[in-house]
A = this chain, B = another copy of it.
Amino acid sequence: MKTPVSASSPATAADLALMQGAPPPPAQHVTLASWQEGPHNRWSFQHASEFVPTANLSRGDGPVFELPTDLERLDGLAIRGVACASTLEEFLSETYTDGFLILHEGRVRYERYLNGMTPATRHLLHSISKSFCGALTGEFVERGVVELDAPVRAYVPELWDSAYGDATVANLLDMTASVRFSEDYTDPASEVQAQDRAAGWRPRRAEDPENSYLFLRALVGDGRPHGSEFQYCSATTDTLAWVLERATGCRYTDLFADALWSRIGAEHEASITVDSAGFAFANGGVSTTLRDLARFGYLMLHGGTVDGFRATPPNWAARHRDNGDPSLIGSEIDFAVAYPNGSYSAGWWCTGDAAGTYYGAGIYGQFLWIVPEASLVIVKLSSLPRPLDPAATRDHREGFHAIVNALT
């Protein structure tokens, strides 16, 4: 980023001298209260473990799933129809990219690191973490340890009287549980910020529950029956993680390492944030390298399993295609406007387009974009200034579509 692509290129962490100085002066000091927001997140998303305690997700001692590289073909790719940019490089710069990779027909065709990120840097994935939780659920459904139709209270009796007690595991997985919950990331009075505080992601207040388990127990329903409507709610994924812990008798961190991360041929260890009870932040706390996330996407693209590397059981990888129900998504939400046949299931946003496109997405510009018909995986890790920004979301959608068009 020594040579900005355009005059409006966003400032990098180095430009801003974030966390430089001993101690850093106030303007450069990224704190637990500020780390999620731009521009502080230009530094923090590559250093999440410096703000919140983390568990190590071991890659195990197996072989690395090698990704053949063939970079020439996309050098200087022009993309059309993207409001913010006309070349791929401009697109990446304008959208606060930290890491970007295109895996096409099994080969890495483009790989860029910006804003100080490197191939060994772990970057926070935010809600792409939910896609991992979906894959793990598949693993334990396959093993017969978890029943999708069973009520949550069968696994976690403490949730009997909470919003989730009579939801099914499938309701959690597909985000059709109903709960009184504001997912407004910018509202200090929202439940999602309260959950952050319980999980160690923001400074605690005296009245906050001590950990995520207690936070989840206190959530109440909103009167609608479960299964009647899509409701994107981060706490729903954490409840699913709790169910997995109780069903298996293992910590989520251990499940993740043993049943998923050590089996995908990852090159690097991953990490997941944990709260004061050791409970992982399943909905958004995973950090991985760019390439390791691409590996997971590639395995999903190929039915969950390739050459002995495994992300999900073979008959699970496409479950979201069959189980997502577009009629459950309110037609007014941005995703439904863009993809009228779209649905959400098992941690994935399913566009319902002809190419079978589906993706994992996280706030501030994290995307794992999978296009089965084009044999394409696009990974984009970013540090946008705001958690949700309709214009930025549109830019990303258009950018990915333009890349798919340029390649096929």
Contact = CB atoms under 8 A, between A and B. Distances in A.
A24 B277 contact: yes
A193 to B, nearest CB: 20
Interface stretch (A15-23, A348-356, A387-395): A15-23
B56 A53 contact: no
Contacts of A278: 19, 23-24, 29-30, 50
Q: Is the interface of A mostly helix, strand, loop or mixed?
A: loop
Nearest to A280: B50
How many interface residues does chain A have, given as a range? 35 or more
A170 B259 CA distance: 50
Interface in A1-41: 19-20, 22-24, 29-32
B119 A61 contact: yes
A269 B50 CA distance: 15
Number of chain copies forming the complex: 2
Given A61-B119, A269-B269, A22 B54 contact: no
A379 interface: no
Interface in A36-86: 47, 49-56, 58-61
Contacts of A32: 276
A118 B249 CA distance: 21
Contact of A19 (B29, B51, B251): B251
A41 B242 CA distance: 25
B22 A242 contact: yes
A29 B271 CA distance: 21
Q: Which 5 A-B pairs have the closest CB atoms?
A: A22-B245, A23-B277, A23-B213, A50-B53, A19-B278
